[in-house]
Amino acid sequence: MFEDKVGFGSFKHLKLSEYPELKELWYGRLEHNAFRSLKHLVVHKCDFVSDVLFQPNLLEVSMNLEELDVEDCNSLEAVFDLKDEFAKEIVVQNSTQLKKLKLSNLPKLKHVWKKDPHYTMKFENLSDVSVVGCHSLISLFPLSVARDMMQLQSLQVSNCGIDEIVVKEEGTDEMVKFVFPHLTSINLKYLTKLKAFFVGVHSLQCKSLKTIKLFACPTIELFKAEPLRHQESSKNDVLNISTYQPLFVIEEEVLTSVKSTTQFTPGLRELDLWDLPKLKYICKEGFQMDPFLHFLESIDVYQCSSLIKLVPSSVTFSYMTYLEVTSCNGLINLITHSTAKSLVKLTTMKIQRCYWLEDIVNGKEDETNEISFCSLRYLELISLQRLCRFCSCLCPIKFPMLEVVVVKKCPQMKLFSLGVANTPNLQTVEIDEENHWDGDLNQTVKNLFDDKDGFDGLEHLFSL
């Protein structure tokens, strides 16, 4: 046999494109133990691959694989098609060893699993899934596969045609429970059709989640408004995000989901939201997601033009070190006085191109409790056409570590703060490419505005 001659039985790593002569063997009836040691399979630019990569004759091969990397196979329509009578005879409900699955640039790929492998195998060892550039893909996981993925750690999907992550089976009306205890990272990018994780009634538990990156997914409805049909409630030792509270607000509605319950341990560390033009709220006032945001260390919000409020006044950011907000023209105020008081670990703040923003810290004028940005070293305010001041409260503000302040194209900024701003380490302020300092931060900003206002008035006089 060909596989014996070249020793494929002992191969642990195989790059299939290097052996085009394998086509007949790959899709024929393999000898027992062929590729028995194969752990890592790379399938790059394999023109001889048919519409399905793993057919039933390759069931035993797929059982032992630990890593699968498929890229640039233009004819591939499905990765696994293992459900038939022949497959059932070989193995029933055994688990594959597959840990890492990477699929890239497969233009005709419609299914990862052509049929739900109910009776054939489980994929309970999957820990890392990355799917990129599969524009014909409608959904990612069959229901039985998603239910078994207890070891999943990272999920990355970008530039695909999917409208749901997990496909719903016909006749599945009961509550489906998804548990991903080890999932730490969700990265969803440029999924223009994605509407939901799962369209059926379900609960989702991700107690180890640390990072959410959501970029350019304009139709996403992870929590959507529907008539109340199911009133599910539960008490757990993990944070329960109620089915009836908003996570994202799209268009004119608070999007609730009578179909979704999401449970997290409050441990999210990084939240990136980019190019979400319909996003109005991350969460609304009084929403149970507040503790879920408490442990965030980094927030980066970019081009969310409908965003009305960054977070409710009840949210505290005791662990936040990095905050960046860019091109969010729905914002008038960034954070409240109470949220600002919690930012004791913040080291970097960058606010840019938010046209309607009037102040960074908003509160009542009689708010006198001191705010201390204990760790802030770098503050950047750029192209904020309506920004009047950093803080609209009369309270004193301390910046004991502040070293760099950059202010550019903020023509309405008459004063830094209504209260006293204490900046013992600050020696200069960069305003419109020039460095200035007049003894303190408030006086420096005021003098620059007065000088500019006077110059603008003089220029107007001479133009008459």
| pTM > 0.85 | no
The share of the chain scoring above pLDDT 70, in percent, equals 76
> Quick one: what percent of the chain has pLDDT higher than 90?
43
**Exposed/middle/buried for residue 396 (C-beta within 10 Å: 0-12, 13-18, 19+):** middle
Nearest alpha carbon to residue 294 among 342, 363, 260, 334: 342
Query: Could you tell me the pLDDT band of residue 13, with boundaries at 50, 70 and 90?
Result: confident
CA distance 414 to 410: 9
Identify whether the C-beta of residue 336 lies closer than 8 Å to the C-beta of residue 362: yes
Which tokens sit at 219? 């139709």
> Residue 269 and residue 292: Cα distance in Å, rounded?
10
pLDDT of residue 105: 96
Express each pLDDT in 306-354 by its tens digit.
Answer: 999 898 888 889 999 999 999 999 999 999 999 999 999 999 999 999 9
Residue type, 135: H
Which amino acid does the sequence have at 233? Answer: S
Asked if 334 and 361 touch (Cβ cutoff 8 Å), the reply is: yes
User: What average pLDDT is seen over the chain?
Assistant: 80
Mean pLDDT of 42-51: 84
Q: pLDDT category, 416, cuts 50, 70, 90?
A: very high
Q: What's the alpha-carbon Rg for the chain, to the nearest Å?
A: 28
Q: At CB < 8 A and 24+ separation, what contacts does 422-431 make?
A: 422/396, 422/397, 422/398, 423/399, 424/400, 425/399, 425/400, 425/401, 426/399, 426/402, 429/405, 430/404, 430/405, 430/406, 431/407
Half-sphere exposure of 68 (CA within 13 A, CB side): 23
* pLDDT at residue 72 in the model: 93
pLDDT digits (tens, 9 = 90+) for 83-138: 654 445 554 557 889 999 999 999 999 999 988 777 667 899 999 999 999 999 99
Q: What is the mean pLDDT of residues 262-282?
A: 78
